Structure 1
């Protein structure tokens, strides 16, 4: 553009015009380093996706054997899962492509891992849970239990936590927290309106603590700092959901991942519903109660009667009445119990009974009574799903036989749940995430990678067993704070299975505590969805979550670690033995070990790592 075109004519009052030159603002220049940092901040995930496959290629190029090819896939998926460079379910699809093309596992066998018995049990249990949500039965149960427990500050908090724990045993942790948070919010807001508590620190205190830097008219909810009572209630529900999810096999995706991997690797010793319930419920109750006690002590001054918190959070009779009225109001809004709720409740209890009595062990199960064909947990789960669509939501159709003409229904009766609701609420992505873990376990077994890792980890057998178990639980809890619980379980469990075989320890002894520990994420919002939901709604900072999570982390670590050498040996007496099927698998692994060792150069990094591990364990390195 020419200079003349850049100029603009400005008219004056006398009719004359004057040309002026517009001001050109200087263009901000960025250094190469600033551009690189900006690029890295925007596209680091794309760089991980592009660079990681090539960075890991030496694993295959240096020694092209099935074990290393499978290790390449495992490491690639681990990096993608932990960084979330690709969506978790997309990463979980990689075995379908890489296992056949790398000669690890056939396409048919790989795809079969994505629709196993455990997967259909998960889908069936999830649909039953959605039916409970669909008719609001879970809200009715929750509000009724809270009103029975009581509405004093401590009882109310305990009631909310206990109900969240119980509900989370049967529906997803995320749904349990999403259900309880509006109830907690309504109670706290009503108490605040009566001047009995504060949900957020007032402006003066916030300014003194340096929390607010905005003008009063610019402040929003995200600028407010929650009070201790708010953190106690909201994070208590989030923690109770994670703990309660361990109570039953269908309680969380981590449980289903463990069951699927264990059943796939050791088909002679499958995980059953009754023993899971019997073992986990006491542990769950202890974790929940002590977590509530810790939160009460830390945030609300329990056992500290002279503390500021203890004096501040005493509701008194008036406060209890206000809280009780809120609960009663919420319960009355649900109306009288409907025919739909009654039928769903019956089917829910029937599903629990069918899971529990399929093969209870102490008596002949119903599966053995009706057929000699093996029946898994997926069969009763899908039976209940079919029943949900066969039964009507109400029995108005009976009026055609007994009612007056004016009372006859004008429309068809829907089923207890609709497929549209299921389709929009089932987390289909979790199916691929679970399937990816099952495929990794099968690929590691077929390729010999698990046997190779077991050989190198055999030096750990010289460690005291209780110390080894503690380290496994500790590492599982640490890793699950920063990545998907199911993804961590998918990576750890196959390795622990082979380690147990090499140590001649029952595989359940190492895998079960690790699986439970993978659900215990209490310190970060990204650790698990319940943490993220509670933190987001109440604007709870990461520091507050980290401090609140200290107690639950220590409690769950100790209870899981100590429960297996004590209560676990009562529920699972087989843990003290090394079963024949496991010995046969261990012997097969040992026979394959010389072949694996011959295929790996003695100067390889894995061999050096193995030698160093053995040296440290045997005390030769000082």
Structure 2
């Protein structure tokens, strides 16, 4: 009975909230669209129309009145219909190199899931030494795995993979603990910390690489579009790796401090992990082939950046790599390898590592969302709306220094990400803060990167991110504990993010 209440009440309340929010958005969006058209008569028509479309998109993205991808496609169709730009300009954004980076990365991640490589890695880490015998070490180990894995596959997929393993360990430990002293650890402070570290670790770990989360590729592309600067794979990693490591230490300290484990030893956890590893069997050909494809992607992604560091940007071979070995090209090469590397023969037919039937199960909605976000960001620059908006906001808010604008970017991204998706947050915040930085004459790359990273925050509410929703649905995370832990980490995380990007931007050379 207790489990039913814990697992059923929260999703029902969240569903009611989402329904009310969606219905409100259906009304607010069109009203805001009409109001902006009427209130911006002093602007050129292209800016007025684009501003109205942008307000409609923000309203529907925040309230999720319509699926995000549908809103995105509808927005770019409206841009053509209202004469903001012609169809070749608008739909041409879907030929963007980052689209193919998405495709390749998603296909490789799909292969990891299909062949169980991600699960094998997780269980191998947990079986090392006496990791799962200690409550604190178990929390740290799960957080570390979530952080590293989410650097290369989506945070939602990472949590979906680690979540059942965590549930299994909690269940095994609780069964033994109930027999010994009658306490049920399924609803303990320790289980709360374990669930939260899986969700939060995946969210911060995506920052390690630009492909770690869809909103980062979207935000980076918008920053590059509006600043004219290129941020390659190696530059991104060098910038954010130290920040992520510091944030992970802060995360573990916060969760273990606010959710202090009730026991000192987890009886039965090691046996559960050993049993799960035994079920996996031997390392398969599919897992080996997936490792080869993944290694190929990493080598090709990092080669141009490493070449620049070693040989310099002016070297002929480095220039050739930057021109022809883009991230999208590298991702497609690696993904194609999965359809070429054989598993063997089945019924006389050659069987590849990944079939097209499995590959098409990637999230195509995110790709549509990215294309539309690129269109709106590009049009905001071409029509002059970005400059108009940036100058007005800079004057109204009174911000003039790089530090003040960077803090504004982080706080704005954080607040919006608490109520809507990460991808939508990046599409909303980046086009606003970059023009503000340009208007006051400071380096726009820094607040743009911070806004992109902050769009992946949102640790307080189940609706903030899919990872939060997944672990909250376990019934092991009371709302009060999520709010308290998330609020503390939000504040500390923003401080680390802002100071870290300001420091690393100088060292990396942005």
Q: TM-score, normalised by structure 1?
A: 0.73
- Cross-structure match for 1:174: 156
Q: Which deviates further from its counterpart, 46-55 or 483-492?
A: 46-55
Which residue among 208, 212, 215 is the counterpart of 1:251? 212
2:238 paired with 1:285: no
Q: How does 1:192-341 map to 2 (within 5 A)?
A: 192-195=174-177, 226-267=187-228, 269-300=229-260, 309=261, 312-315=262-265, 319=266, 322-341=268-287
How far, CA to CA, are the matches of 1:197 and 1:99 in structure 2?
A: 65
The structure showing larger relative contact order (alpha-carbon pairs under 8 Å, at least 6 residues apart) is 2
Give the secondary structure class of the aligned counterpart of 1:527: coil
Which residue among 424, 431, 435 is the counterpart of 1:487? 424
Q: 8 Å contact 1:244–1:251 — kept in the other structure?
A: yes
2:342 paired with 1:392: yes
Q: Give the unaligned 5+ runs of structure 1.
A: 1-38, 203-223, 301-308, 398-408, 575-622
Q: Give the unaligned 5+ runs of structure 2.
A: 1-18
Q: 8 Å contact 2:37–2:48 — kept in the other structure?
A: no
2:166 paired with 1:184: yes
Which residue among 77, 80, 88 is the counterpart of 1:108? 88
Give the secondary structure class of the aligned counterpart of 2:428: helix
- Cross-structure match for 2:39: 59
Deviations 1:116-169 (A, max 9, x none): 111110111111111111111111111111222522111111111111111111
How far, CA to CA, are the matches of 1:427 and 1:71 in structure 2?
A: 28
Q: 8 Å contact 2:224–2:231 — kept in the other structure?
A: yes
2:155 paired with 1:155: no
- Cross-structure match for 1:432: 368
Q: 8 Å contact 1:60–1:69 — kept in the other structure?
A: no
How far, CA to CA, are the matches of 1:570 and 1:44 in structure 2?
A: 46
Q: 8 Å contact 1:116–1:260 — kept in the other structure?
A: no
How far, CA to CA, are the matches of 1:93 and 1:109 in structure 2?
A: 14
- Cross-structure match for 2:14: none
What is the CA-CA distance between 1:442 and the residue it aligns to? 1.1
Decide whether aligned partners of structure 1 residues 313 and 568 sit closer, same or farther in structure 2, where only a CA change above 3 A counts: farther
2:385 paired with 1:449: yes
Deviations 1:473-523 (A, max 9, x none): 122111210112111211221222222222222221110111111111100
2:463 paired with 1:531: no
How far, CA to CA, are the matches of 2:356 and 2:188 in structure 1?
A: 42
Decide whether aligned partners of structure 1 residues 196 and 554 sit closer, same or farther in structure 2, where only a CA change above 3 A counts: farther
Give the secondary structure class of the aligned counterpart of 2:207: coil
Decide whether aligned partners of structure 1 residues 43 and 277 sit closer, same or farther in structure 2, where only a CA change above 3 A counts: closer
Q: 8 Å contact 1:359–1:366 — kept in the other structure?
A: no
How far, CA to CA, are the matches of 1:442 and 1:533 in structure 2?
A: 34
Deviations 1:444-471 (A, max 9, x none): 1121101211322343676443233223
How far, CA to CA, are the matches of 1:49 and 1:464 in structure 2?
A: 33
Deviations 1:30-78 (A, max 9, x none): xxxxxxxxx9899545434554443443135565532222111111111
- Cross-structure match for 1:47: 27
Deviations 1:311-342 (A, max 9, x none): x3111xxx45x211111111111101112211
Q: How does 1:14-93 map to 2 (within 5 A)?
A: 43-48=23-28, 51-59=31-39, 65-93=45-73
- Cross-structure match for 1:363: 310
- Cross-structure match for 1:469: 406
How far, CA to CA, are the matches of 1:366 and 1:133 in structure 2?
A: 39
Give the secondary structure class of the aligned counterpart of 1:413: strand
How far, CA to CA, are the matches of 1:67 and 1:369 in structure 2?
A: 37
Deviations 1:197-239 (A, max 9, x none): 99x987xxxxxxxxxxxxxxxxxxxxx9932122111111000
- Cross-structure match for 2:10: none
How far, CA to CA, are the matches of 2:35 and 2:399 in structure 1?
A: 34
Q: How does 1:131-146 map to 2 (within 5 A)?
A: 131-146=111-126
Greater helix fraction, Structure 1 or Structure 2:
2
Give the secondary structure class of the aligned counterpart of 2:177: coil
How far, CA to CA, are the matches of 2:227 and 2:34 in structure 1?
A: 34
Q: TM-score, normalised by structure 2?
A: 0.88
Report the aligned-residue RMSD.
2.6
Decide whether aligned partners of structure 1 residues 325 and 42 sit closer, same or farther in structure 2, where only a CA change above 3 A counts: closer
